[in-house]
Amino acid sequence: MGGFSIWHILIFAIILLLLFGGNRFSSMMGDVAKGLKSFKKGMADEEDDSRKRFEEQRRNEQRTLPSEQPPIDATARPAEPSAPPPRDDEAR
């Protein structure tokens, strides 16, 4: 009730074939298939382009990153004198 059964779909398909004819229907389905193929190709090309842009951006960042960092200072620094902790005798 209220849904399409297999019989409804078959009758609808037969009516479509009678209206459009077998040759015209198959050519329309071929056009739909070509459209889907071109859509998939376009999506794959867009993904490849975005991947290439990401890789190029990453390479450019790696080239500029080391020059922006200051050089590492490896000279020895003198130790700061520290006062010894007070003894218990002197604290009282």
Dist. CA 42–CA 11, nearest whole Å: 36
Tens digit of pLDDT for each residue in 44-92? 888 888 888 888 888 887 766 555 667 778 888 777 777 777 777 755 5
End-to-end Cα spacing for the chain: 99
Instruction: List pLDDT tens digits, range 22-36.
Output: 777 778 888 999 999
Residue 26, classed as helix, strand or coil, is helix
pTM: predicted TM-score of the whole model, two decimal places: 0.37
Instruction: Count CB atoms within 10 A of the CB of residue 22.
Output: 9
Torsion of CA 12, 13, 16, 18, to 10 degrees: -110
Per domain, the residue ranges of the chain are 28-66
Cα–Cα distance, 54 to 13 (Å, whole number): 48
